[in-house]
Structure 1
Amino acid sequence: MTKQAFSVLIAGGGSTYTPGIVLTLLNQLERFPIKTLKFYDNDGERQQVIADACAIIIKERAPQIEFLATTDPETAFSDVDFVMAQIRVGKYAMRSLDEKIPLKHGVVGQETTGPGGIAYGLRSIPGVIELVDYMERYSPNAWMLNYSNPAAIVAEATRRLRPNSKIINICDMPIDIMDRMAKIVGLKDRNDLVFRYYGLNHFGWWTDIRDQQGRDLMPEIKAYVAKNGYWLGGDYDAQTEASWARTFKAAADVYALDPTTLPNTYLKYYLYPQAVLAHADPTYTRTDEVRAHREAYVFSECRRVVQNGTAKDITYTGDEHSTYIVDLCTAIAFDTKQRMLAIIPSAGAVANLDPTAMVEVPVLFGANGPERLAMGNAATFQKGLITEQNCVEKLVVDAYIERSYTKLWEAMSLCKIVPDAAVAKVILDEMIVANRDYWPELA
């Protein structure tokens, strides 16, 4: 029996991740068939570079798929089953400021955490809401898989502003870490692991990891992480950039603070900000690294494919970012009840947290979306950290909805990364000027 084929839209078609998603989709057609693939981006020129290469890839590998790239919302969002949203409002120019403005004032500059994440969040909220509204207008039965950052703030905003929308907020960072965990214990990949995890996006902990036969893998993984963090080295990390190498290795320090769990790598920014600052260069941040490596590579490879008129020797491949998205689409499309992570209202998933907190926990994905699994109570240390950070995220959304300067100042002042309210105000005032074309006017 032939499986149903689906129509998929990638919103943010000009992203450097788009070719990897396309390649993964093409490699998984047997389990997730596609009849139409569309790209949508408000930057048509940037998208076209990616689209021209992907058109060649699709023609050579799956000519039966109808492909188009557009900047017109109605054309893009009509008659689709899944929207994969990966937008970056303000692109790398604004990401660079998110990182460099805090660093000027002795505060961690990072795109999803601290002041940088707050700035990015205020830009992302209207962008993602716009995509949700397009989807509901033109394809009301579609599902949106949103992995636009910062996912925690976006998830809180969509919970409050579009509570009935069919949007699922996800993140690939735990996926990458679980693939590394699988390698540590000699398994193939994350799908060989049965896990328990709770927290917020970029702010969580594994409390139990087992193989499919029920064998407890935590002791072996902990022993490795205590010495090496999540760094594997060798061929596995041959292409890993310097900033990520430090991040994976720093997990050893984060783990030491609570050896009963295994941490998400992003916790280093909150728990060891001084160590992060010690390695930071205010003139050359992660944005510059991405521009010099991933962006330069992806766009040059796409241009080379177009110039040669073939993708038969393309060096680009899919990654964990894209395989997770295909897994999720397949689970919804065919009601597989696969266990995966998603960012959802707690509603008892973590029993002693605010039920409206957008927690990142394992769920079972099927035709009706995510079905939450109970993770029990958060430990005292984790509960304290989560409660503080969740209040930061709620205040950011308050500030957006109310156009409130005070609420945004409170959010930055409460953030664990920022040393005090005076520093928060200086950073905020500078960011208001930098984001004048993107943020709502605050009063």
Structure 2
Amino acid sequence: MTNKFSVVIAGGGSTFTPGIVLMLLANQDRFPLRALKFYDNDGARQEVIAEACKIILQEQAPDIAFSYTTDPKEAFTDVDFVMAHIRVGKYPMREQDEKIPLRHGVLGQETCGPGGIAYGMRSIGGVLELVDYMEQYSPNAWMLNYSNPAAIVAEATRRLRPHAKILNICDMPIGIEGRMAQIVGLKDRKQMRVRYYGLNHFGWWTQIEDLAGNDLMPQLKAYVAQHGYVPPAKDTHTEASWNDTFAKAKDVQALDSATLPNTYLKYYLFPDYVVAHSNPERTRANEVMDHREKQVFGACRAIIEAGNASAGELEIDEHASYIVDLAAAIAFNTQERMLLIVPNNGAIANFDADAMVEIPCLVGKNGPEPLTVGEIPHFQKGMMSQQVAVEKLVVDAWEEHSYQKLWQAITLSKTVPSASVAKAILDDLIEANKAYWPELN
């Protein structure tokens, strides 16, 4: 293997960036780097993460050229891959996304419902800006986009940058498949072959086999019906709010016992439960700011102060190995089978051709080749049609600066009880997002 690649991580100041760097270093045998760059528009935040990562790279892989910058030309020139995970408005705006809907009795969640719509309105412009930088300075590069909410971002890039070499991905199914592997006693999720369809954060597994072709669905369905996705061995690392989500999967699965659900479906199918179990004064954003933010930045500062990587505890981001799988599949034309968010184009026979669906694809040097799903049942089709319409209306609203389209989008969300509640939430969200959204007319 002689090829070595240049990568820019867009969102260099993210708390997830050190995990991606450690994961890239752990996978140099299958995706070797010649250069790694960080790009962020918040230079002060990025500097702390970058200076710590510089020490890690000097210790583990001094031959990889490393730099960080707030200058797009410097960042995006001579790169093969852009790994993007940006959060426009950072965690204080996520806090608003979660708390404003809760004030109106509607669930507050990062990517689902009105909070996800608000985040989408901020993310579209940020991701399009990155696409434009990539196309200007490294037109042959691929963007592997982790930025949320992935469904809205994917619809925006499909429509507004139709020729861009961007792949939108999500690691939530990967995390769930890891739990499935534990439940059936396999080493990891790569010991399974799956069939899955849906939208981002909104899908169902229809087939799960081991590599010998043995059907694992009966065992998994029986287990999930009792325990959700909480594996038999006690997991002390999973936070209480996530454990509740994994356990709630048993109630989601009861609605269609022929399939296994994505955990995020709880927000659409049991929104009253979610609101009842939410604290409007302390949401997930507060948990992250109090724990992950402090832990990662504290570790990075300790590494910088000591001048060696052992001074701070940073975890390799196992979920992020998916992004290496994807980069390697493109770089070396491996035809690996992966779940990606792609235009439907007939893969789901009885669904909109231009909907951005999340389905298995074979990935090689020309990008993804979607696998055929066939026809889907009325229940899933109905839910997906409603949610796709929400996502399309959000992109309409962003593109047309349309208040009415955004009101329609929030009204149509399955998480919102009425148009009057939707309007009240929208007016509060507009006030909170003045610095980030297009002005709506």
Give the TM interval when normalised to the shorter protein.
over 0.9
Q: Deviations over 1:109-144 (max 9, x none)?
A: 001000000000000000000000000000000000
RMSD: 0.9
**2: CA distance, partners of 1:427 / 1:99:** 11
- 1:7: which partner in 2? 6
- 2:285: which partner in 1? 287
**Partner-residue secondary structure (3-state), 1:194:** strand
- 1:45: which partner in 2? 44
* 1:320 Cα deviation from its structure 2 partner: 3.2
* 1:426 Cα deviation from its structure 2 partner: 0.2
Query: Map of 1:387-402 to 2, 5 A cutoff?
Result: 387-402=385-400
* 1:233 Cα deviation from its structure 2 partner: 6.2
**Partner-residue secondary structure (3-state), 2:375:** coil
**1: CA distance, partners of 2:350 / 2:187:** 35
**2: CA distance, partners of 1:52 / 1:166:** 30
**Partner-residue secondary structure (3-state), 1:153:** helix
- 2:60: which partner in 1? 61
**2: CA distance, partners of 1:284 / 1:393:** 27
Find 2:345's aligned residue among 344, 347, 354.
347
Normalised to the residue count of structure 2, the TM-score between the two structures is 0.99
Code of the aligned partner of 1:238: T
Structure 1 residue 304 corresponds to structure 2 residue 309? no
- 1:208: which partner in 2? 207
Code of the aligned partner of 1:255: Q
**Partner-residue secondary structure (3-state), 1:320:** coil
**2: CA distance, partners of 1:374 / 1:437:** 42
Structure 1 residue 27 corresponds to structure 2 residue 26? yes
Query: 1:331, 1:338 within 8 Å by CA — same for their partners in 2?
Result: yes
Moved more, 318-327 or 363-372: 318-327
Find 2:374's aligned residue among 346, 352, 376.
376
- 1:326: which partner in 2? 324
Query: 2:22, 2:317 within 8 Å by CA — same for their partners in 1?
Result: no
* 1:255 Cα deviation from its structure 2 partner: 0.5
Code of the aligned partner of 2:122: R
**Partner-residue secondary structure (3-state), 1:312:** helix
Structure 2 gap segments, 5+ residues each: none
- 2:111: which partner in 1? 112
Find 2:259's aligned residue among 244, 258, 261.
261
- 2:426: which partner in 1? 428
Structure 1 residue 221 corresponds to structure 2 residue 220? yes
Code of the aligned partner of 1:190: R
Moved more, 411-420 or 187-196: 187-196
**Partner-residue secondary structure (3-state), 1:351:** coil
Query: 2:143, 2:167 within 8 Å by CA — same for their partners in 1?
Result: yes
- 2:438: which partner in 1? 440
- 2:244: which partner in 1? 246
**Partner-residue secondary structure (3-state), 1:88:** coil
* 1:321 Cα deviation from its structure 2 partner: 2.6
Structure 1 gap segments, 5+ residues each: none
Query: Map of 1:55-204 to 2, 5 A cutoff?
Result: 55-204=54-203
* 1:316 Cα deviation from its structure 2 partner: 2.0
**1: CA distance, partners of 2:214 / 2:372:** 21
**Partner-residue secondary structure (3-state), 1:165:** coil
Find 2:335's aligned residue among 334, 337, 345.
337
* 1:146 Cα deviation from its structure 2 partner: 0.5
Query: 2:302, 2:311 within 8 Å by CA — same for their partners in 1?
Result: no
**Partner-residue secondary structure (3-state), 1:14:** coil
Q: Deviations over 1:283-320 (max 9, x none)?
A: 00000011111111111111111111111354322233
- What is the count of residue pairs matched by the alignment? 441
**1: CA distance, partners of 2:2 / 2:280:** 52
* 1:191 Cα deviation from its structure 2 partner: 1.1
**Partner-residue secondary structure (3-state), 2:68:** strand
Query: 2:183, 2:232 within 8 Å by CA — same for their partners in 1?
Result: no
**2: CA distance, partners of 1:411 / 1:143:** 31
- 2:313: which partner in 1? 315
Query: 1:172, 1:320 within 8 Å by CA — same for their partners in 2?
Result: no
**1: CA distance, partners of 2:329 / 2:351:** 28
Code of the aligned partner of 2:34: K
Give % identity: 65
* 1:224 Cα deviation from its structure 2 partner: 1.1
**Partner-residue secondary structure (3-state), 2:310:** coil
- 1:417: which partner in 2? 415
Moved more, 319-328 or 342-351: 319-328
Code of the aligned partner of 2:15: T
